Structure 1
Amino acid sequence: MTDPDTTATPAFGIPRIEVEPEDTPPFGIPAVSVPVHLTRDADDETSVIQDTPLTDDDPVVEAIALPHEPELARPARAARFVASAFILLTAAVGALSAWQAWRSYWLVRDFYSAIPTVTNEQLQTATDRSTWLSYGWMAGVALSGVAFIVWLWRARINAARVCDAPHRLRIRWSVLSWFIPIGNLWLPQMVLGDVWRASRPDTPARGGNLRKVRAGKLIGVWWALFLLTHAVDLAAVNLIKDDSSVQTFERVFFANAASGGLAVLSALAILVVMRRVDRWQADRELIR
């Protein structure tokens, strides 16, 4: 940058300063020259900026054009946290139900033994505890289902805003897919699968084809575990309706143990899926 030239005749005693911009802008960012005319009010000692005609002697101020910061997607973290909490609580209730089924099995076995030591109060307590755990399981499934659908709805909207590739199902199917008889055996995982594909960092934002994007195997694992969990749970309920023999309680115990284990694995799988989708979407730029 050249030295300022102060040889011009000052106006009102204020010297004029002419600054010539450098040939190469700093940091490779283009500079925009903005002329500013400094004058002095006759009744004031302060220099002010006025909209007056500019001359060649007016100083030039360089304004650097700042780079544009893209707007990123906002994942539904709050919905994910709520859904994750309910899913974990439901899995914990499933594990407790398996433990209670084991306790009930041994109580019934003792009751039908040659010399029973269990009392009617113990049997009634075990029955009440099993009933409350069943209610807790059903409430947990309902609450975690609602919370997960809210998260899936938000994630589906974000997926459409970061990638314009068409999905197999529209946004409303994030909710409807769970309530279609028979169709709810595969439609929900289709919605989540497309959200996974559209949110991946290697999926192009424009002109992509989700069918050509690699599917997430973890979603298939979660969906299989989810269906098996509820299938085994329904089987256990039907078993206890038939009779109350020792063999029936033994089968119920094994069914509940399997259901509880599958519920825990299913919960862990979907928590990983939700966290990964949110992390991917947080790094994607909105295109609409």
Structure 2
Amino acid sequence: MIEQKSSPAAPGLALRPVRTVAHCAVATLVLAGAAWVARAVWHIRLATAGQPASGPPDQGGGVHRPLNGLEDSYHLVASVGSAVTAVCVIVFLLWLDRMRDNAQALSGTAPRYGCSWLWLGWIVPVVNLWIPRGIVVDVHRSVFPERRLPAVVNWWWGLWLAGLAGGVGIIYSDDTDEVIARAYSGVLPLLAADLVIVAAAGAAALMVHTLTTAQQEHVAGRDY
């Protein structure tokens, strides 16, 4: 089953340190947002420059013309952005894994979703529309069942889904040369996707801070 009913957790689970990894997650999310701002700037530069007379980089039939300086620099910006985003994803999942383990230790109940879904939930089609949010919600509600879910969680998830819609934004269905051609022919959808991703990164950073602070304050109050 994908969703599991909460069950008693194993006794004696130790709390894992989460503050440092939370700070790293916020930092990488800010960097990822900055990388997508840079990508948006290059989309605007490409649209302003206009497509060269020689046509798009991908000429069709497996033929690619030499890139000009602006197109070459866009490849660099896109590559750096992808690398930063990959690091951000890893650090975010490490944060979520620790928060999840701590929630289990504090609440005394096992998570609703098995450990494998922490990783697979993002990539398995269809279920990736709700499982990642469900894991985050479970982290909060298992410790604070009487509290309302922070609104930033829904903002983050809505923006994430919007970024995935249509194969633009977070994961491009086109390769870099095809994206360059799209910037030449119609840049507005690309800019809209860039804006959504930047907003999603900001919402995620705020969510990490909000949930981590609440959990840490709960631990401090319990120890006191």
Would you say same fold, with TM above 0.5?
A: yes
Aligned to 2:31: 89
TM-score, normalization by structure 2: 0.73
Residues 1:187 and 1:94: Cα distance change in structure 2 (over 3 Å): same
> Could you give the per-residue CA deviations for residues 84-134 of structure 1, whole angstroms, max 9, x where no partner exists?
22111111111111111111112125x55xxxxxxxxxx711101111111
Letter of the structure 1 residue corresponding to residue 193 of structure 2:
S
| Matched-pair contact (CA < 8 Å) for 2:99–2:139 | yes
- Given candidates 193, 197, 202, the residue that maps to 2:141 is 197
CA separation of 1:179 and 1:230: change in aligned 2, threshold 3 A: closer
Deviation at 1:227, TM superposition (A): 2.3
Instruction: Write the distance in 1 (CA, Å) between the matches of 2:121 and 2:179.
Output: 33
Correspondence for 2:78: 134
Q: 2:208 aligns with which of 274, 278, 281?
A: 274
How big is the shift at 1:180? 2.3
* d(CA) in 2 for partners of 1:144, 1:161: 26
Structure 2 CA distance for aligned equivalents of residues 133 and 274 of structure 1? 26
Task: For residue 218 of structure 2, give the secondary structure of its aligned residue in structure 1.
Answer: coil
- Judged with a 3 Å threshold, the aligned counterparts in structure 2 of structure 1 residues 96 and 248 are, in CA distance, closer, same or farther, namely closer
Alignment partner for residue 178 of structure 2, among 241, 253, 258? Answer: 241
Tell me what 2:42 maps to.
Answer: 100
Deviations 1:41-72 (A, max 9, x none): xxxxxxxxxxxxxxxxxxxxxxxxxxxxxxx9
Name the aligned partner's letter for residue 97 of structure 1.
Answer: R
TM-score (norm 1): 0.58
| Structure 1: distance between partners of 2:38 and 2:143 | 36
Q: Considering fraction of residues, name the structure with more helix.
A: 2
**2:174 partner letter:** V
Residue 77 of structure 1 aligns to which amino acid in structure 2?
Answer: R
Contact 1:168 1:194 in 2 (8 A): yes
Q: CA deviation at 1:283?
A: 2.4
Indicate conservation of the 8 Å contact 1:239/1:248, yes or no: no
Bigger-Rg structure (1/2): 1
Describe how 1:252-271 pairs up with structure 2 within 5 A.
Answer: 253-271=187-205
In structure 1, the gaps of 5 or more residues are 1-71, 113-122, 205-212
| CA shift in 2, pair 1:243/1:165, >3 Å | closer
CA 192–135 in structure 1, closer or farther in 2 if over 3 Å, else same: same
Show structure 2 runs of 5+ residues with no match: 1-13, 54-66
Whether the aligned pair in 1 keeps the contact of 2:46 and 2:183 (CA below 8 Å) is no
Q: Partner residue of 1:32?
A: none
Note if contact 1:75-1:155 (Cα within 8 Å) is conserved in structure 2.
Answer: no
Matches within 5 A, 1:1-288: 75-108=17-50, 111=52, 124-165=68-109, 167-200=111-144, 203=145, 214-231=148-165, 232-233=168-169, 234=171, 237=174, 241=178, 244=181, 249-251=184-186, 253-285=187-219
RMSD: 3.0
Q: CA deviation at 1:170?
A: 3.0
Supply the distance in 2 between the matched residues of 1:182 and 1:271 (Cα, whole angstroms). Answer: 25
Q: How many residues matched?
A: 192
8 Å contact kept, 1:240–1:248: no
Structure showing greater relative contact order (alpha-carbon pairs closer than 8 Å, 6 or more residues apart) = 2
